[in-house]
Amino acid sequence: MAKQQEVESIRQLARILTHEGSQAKLVGANGEEIYIPESICQVLRQVVNAMASGKAISIVPEEQEMTTQQAADFLNVSRPYLIKLLEQGEIPYIKVGSHRRVRLEDLKKYKQQRSQKRSQFLKQLVELSEEAGLYEDE
């Protein structure tokens, strides 16, 4: 029963946070009120929407160092593939004893570059297909 109440509370919070033009505020147990800055509201919206969709979330500082398994999970790749990327110099890492650690900032940078490369490749593929007459833009 408590789980269902939590789910409903999360859904209600998601609805409240999506109202445009309204500024959220936090009310303490003693009645003290403080408005929540928009930057924090944006983070709350993302977290609450993810939780309302049943997704797991984690919040880590930008300078956070991750294990290779955490890094692989972040990139949605296998751990052996991630290690190959590290050894090829695609993503910087440090060694702590015999363990590799990867900074979240470096993973985000790699992910963005990977996305840009994919977009460029797709654009080139469409252009080649158009030139060959295999793809017609309507």
Residue 1 pLDDT > 70: no
Q: What is the tens place of the pLDDT at every residue in 50-104? A: 888 888 887 767 678 999 999 999 999 999 999 999 999 999 999 989 999 999 9
Domain CATH number, residue 91: 1.10.1660
Residue 129 pLDDT > 90: no
Domain CATH number, residue 7: 3.90.1280
Domain membership of residue 59 (yes or no) is no
Residues 33 and 71 in one domain: no
Biggest CA-to-CA distance, the chain: 71
Residues 74 and 121 in one domain: yes
Residue 125 pLDDT > 80: yes
The CA distance from 30 to 12, in Å, is 23
Residue 132 pLDDT > 60: yes
On whether the pTM is more than 0.85, the answer is no
Per the listing, tokens 């080139």 go with 124
Better pLDDT: 125 or 60: 125
* CA dihedral sign, ordered 128, 133, 135, 138: positive
Structurally, the chain folds into a number of domains equal to: 2
Residue 137 pLDDT > 60: no
Per the listing, tokens 């290779």 go with 68
